[in-house]
Amino acid sequence: MQEKSTLLSEIKRRRTFAIISHPDAGKTTLTEKLLLYGGAIQLAGSVRARQNQRRAASDWMELEQKRGISITSTALEFPYAGCQINLLDTPGHQDFSEDTYRTLFAADAAVMLLDSAKGVEPQTLKLFAVCRQRGFPILTFINKMDRPGRDPFDLLDEVEKVLGIAAVPLNWPVGSGSDFKGVYETRERQLHLFDRVEHGARRAPVRVANPSDPALAAVIGQDLQATLLDDLELLNAGTDFDMARFLRGQLSPVFFGSAVTNFGVQLFLDRFVELAPPPDDRPLLDGAPYPVDEPFSGFIFKIQANMDPAHRDRIAFMRICSGRFERAMAVTHCPTGKPVRLSQAHRLFGQERIPVEEAFAGDIIGLVNPGVFSLGDSVSAGPSVAFEPIPRFAPERFALLRMANPTQRKPFVKGLEQLSEEGAIQLLFKQAGDFREAILAAIGPLQFDVVQFRLVSEYGVETHIEPLSYSCARWLREVPDALDGSYGTRLVYDSGGHPVLLFESDYWRDRFAQQNKSIALFATHREAELSRT
Ligand code: G4P
């Protein structure tokens, strides 16, 4: 009994979320500031300043550093106000959106980060759509208020119209750009005055004032005070915050701030821990919820090879769905029914690995993967479970990859197998399993660059790549006897030997479908399999 209530109180402390944004909105900056306020780092900016040594703690891959883009996802954790916050870092670049989709699958909430000058951008829109499907809560942080931006009412309007979600401000900005004076907090009904802090290395000092105090005019100016009072009247007439709608993903609380100067970060975090939900029962394959206080269970949402050149191993990231994890515990690998001992479990902070003694539902642990785990696999210390499947997406870009030096076949095959196991790319073959002419299939072309780069840096294999003109892949249930009207079409095989048709365009796919009505086409192998039952 005592044990159960300790378990539940530990689980209730967890807040597991991811940030979704368009590149450049300030995700890295906000992440760093959340870590600063959570006490996980002492001096934000020091992390950036030591760029050559370490870059941002969540930003470790050499290619990312060269290109200044965030590709890989890492899980960061820090305590705040009695809660344990697990922040799943997602790649910002659209070519890695599948990785992001998988990460969102392991989260219980998302923070949508917008640039106040740009509002809702294309990548935000795409990722928002995935959150919407998950039906989980989304908080909005409108960033860069210290820069000239758009009218805040306009921004709220855009969120409501473009995303179709109610937007309810829980704080309200006073001025913007060089005139940015602070934010009004709607619950406490107090104005938090902004002091520009150089680079926001430390926590921002905060002064609090009453918005209708006549003395305030001397601090923020008469005009801004009058505008604030007008705005507040308008806001009071707006929608109220409704927790139930928020939890269903129908309403988003909105916060304004400036991550680079730390302003608004603490106000945001204080409300975040109150609003964001703790881990809940997780749906199984058949839709039934699996209680969070059942014995330990979890699923693999990400696999990453060679995270640390010194270790040269693969890490499988697991989201714990129920119960308590203990170091070296014996569990069942549900897809095979085989027993596995989880002896090497880590938390990862940038490149640092910290052994995990215990963890609870909602936490993310990195398991050294001895080839047992694949994406989506469940493990359990209790009954065998299968959680709802992680979505896979049909690739849209294809390229032929050949090794520059044919004597390197072994590391070439190993590298490609491991990278495809991570889900970074899919592998297709002209002849099943023939690596001499492997076809890479991906969502975006940057994934090809990453594969080539990693093959050199991690496996020592130089390659040549030749883009192919296909733009669409469809899985088949079986190899057809004959293909009619197959112009612009090619039959290939995935790494499991299953037949796949490549099409040069949606036009050729549709035409093919019309001419071959007996051949069913599926966006993924999984869909083709499910259609058999
Ligand atoms: P991302 O991960 O979403 O791609 O964005 P990142 O945090 O790298 O931020 C993109 C740029 O926006 C950075 O500037 C960063 O300093 C700036 N930025 C982030 N938050 C704020 C903010 O609240 N206000 C202002 N004014 N700028 C902000 P950069 O010039 O690209 O890099 P750096 O020279 O600052 O390192």
Task: Write out pLDDT tens, residues 52-73.
Answer: 333 343 444 554 555 444 444 4
* Residue 265, pLDDT score: 92
Q: How confident is the model at residue 297 (pLDDT cuts 50, 70, 90)?
A: very high
Of the ranges 53-57, 136-140, 521-525, which is most confident? 136-140
| pLDDT value of position 102 | 84
Instruction: Give distance in angstroms: CA of 457 to centre of ligand 1.
Output: 29
The per-residue pLDDT for 70 is: 44
The answer to whether the CB of 174 falls within 8 A of the CB of 182 is yes
pLDDT at residue number 159: 96
- Token pair belonging to 251: 């309403």
26 lines ligand 1 (CB under 6 A): yes
Mean pLDDT along residues 113-133: 90
How many Å apart are CA 181 and CA 23, to the nearest integer?
Answer: 26
Q: What local confidence, expressed as pLDDT, does residue 443 receive?
A: 82
- The predicted pLDDT at position 481 comes to 78
Distance 18 CA to ligand 1 centre (A): 18
Q: Whose CA is nearest to atom 32 of ligand 1?
A: 24
Q: Give distance in angstroms: CA of 188 to centre of ligand 1.
A: 30
The reported pLDDT for the residue numbered 96 is 63
**Which secondary-structure segment (H or E) carries 225?**
helix 222-236
Cα 260 to ligand 1 centroid, rounded to whole Å: 7
- Name the residue at shortest CA distance from atom 15 of ligand 1: 26
Antiparallel, parallel or unpaired: β 75-80 and 426-429:
unpaired
Separation of 137 CA from ligand 1 center, angstroms?
Answer: 25
Point out the ligand 1 atom lying closest to the alpha carbon of residue 32.
7
Task: Give the residue whose CA is nearest to atom 9 of ligand 1.
Answer: 26
Tens digits of per-residue pLDDT, 163-214?
999 999 999 999 989 889 899 998 888 888 887 765 556 666 667 778 888 8
Higher pLDDT, 214 or 2: 214
Atom 25 of ligand 1: nearest residue by CA position:
144
User: Residue 308 Cα, ligand 1 centroid: separation in angstroms?
Assistant: 27
- Take atom 10 of ligand 1 and give the residue whose Cα is closest: 24
Least confident of 64-73, 237-246, 383-392: 64-73
Q: What is the mean pLDDT of residues 379-398?
A: 88
Strand spans (E) along 240-334: 251-256, 282-283, 289-290, 297-305, 314-322, 324-326, 329-333
Confidence of residue 484 (pLDDT cuts 50, 70, 90): low
Pocket test for ligand 1, best of 24, 46, 197 (most atoms within 8 A of CB): 24
**What percent of the chain has pLDDT above 90?**
47
Average pLDDT over residues 292-298: 97
Q: How many CB atoms lie within 10 A of CB 410?
A: 10
pLDDT for position 197: 61
Section 81-92 average pLDDT: 85
Q: Quickly state the pLDDT bin for 458 (edges 50, 70, 90).
A: confident
Centroid of chain to Cα 349? 16
Output 354 or 506, whichever has higher pLDDT.
506
Q: Could you tell which of 260, 267, 268 is best to mutate to test the pocket of ligand 1, judged by most ligand atoms within 8 Å of the CB?
A: 260
Pocket lining: 143 vs ligand 1, CB cutoff 6 Å: yes
Q: Is 258 in the pocket of ligand 1 (CB under 6 A)?
A: yes
User: Ligand 1: does its nearest atom lie under 6 Å from the Cβ of 146?
Assistant: yes
Residue 74 pLDDT: 64
What would the pLDDT profile of 304-332 be if each residue is shown by its tens digit?
A: 766 666 666 778 899 999 999 999 999 99
Q: Is the pLDDT of residue 113 over 70?
A: yes
Q: What is the distance between the alpha carbons of residues 514 and 83, in angstroms, rounded to a whole number?
A: 56
**Looking at per-residue confidence, does 12 or 199 come out higher?**
12
For residue 176, what pLDDT is reported?
87
Mean pLDDT of the chain: 85
Query: Residue 49 — pLDDT band, cuts 50, 70, 90?
Result: very low
Dihedral of the CA atoms 464, 469, 473, 476 (nearest 10)? Answer: -90
pLDDT at 190: 87
Are the beta carbons of 239 and 169 closer than 8 angstroms?
no
Instruction: Give CA–CA dist 328/357, Å, rounded.
Output: 9
Question: Partners of 365 in the beta sheet?
Answer: 318
Threshold 0.85, pTM exceeds: no
Determine whether the shortest distance from the Cβ of 92 to ligand 1 is under 6 A.
yes
From the alpha carbon of 21, which atom of ligand 1 is closest? 3
C-beta separation of 318 from 330 below 8 A: no
Q: Which residue has the higher pLDDT, 117 or 95?
A: 117
Q: Residue 395's pLDDT is what?
A: 87
Q: 441 CA to middle of ligand 1, Å?
A: 32
Predicted confidence at residue 31, as pLDDT, reads 87
Q: Which of 29, 32, 147 to mutate to test the pocket of ligand 1 (most atoms within 8 A of CB)?
A: 29
Whole-number Å distance, alpha carbon 82 to ligand 1 midpoint, is: 29
> Residue 178 C-alpha to ligand 1 middle, in angstroms?
17
468-483 per-position pLDDT tens digit: 999 999 999 988 877 7
What confidence score (pLDDT) does residue 413 get?
94
Give me 32's structure tokens: 């760093």
Confirm or reject: Cβ of 23 under 6 Å from ligand 1. Answer: yes
Statement: residue 140 has pLDDT above 70: yes
d(CA 143, ligand 1 centre) in Å: 10
Q: Which residue would you say has higher pLDDT here, 390 or 367?
A: 367
How many other CB atoms are found less than 10 A from the CB of residue 402? 14
Q: What is the pLDDT of residue 436?
A: 87
- The pLDDT assigned to 235 comes to 83
pLDDT at position 46 is 40
Distance 259 CA to ligand 1 centre (A): 8
Q: Whose Cα sits closest to atom 22 in ligand 1?
A: 144
Q: For 14-24, what is each residue's pLDDT tens digit?
A: 999 999 998 88
Structure confidence by residue, pLDDT tens digits, 403-447: 999 999 999 999 998 888 777 788 999 988 788 889 999 887 888
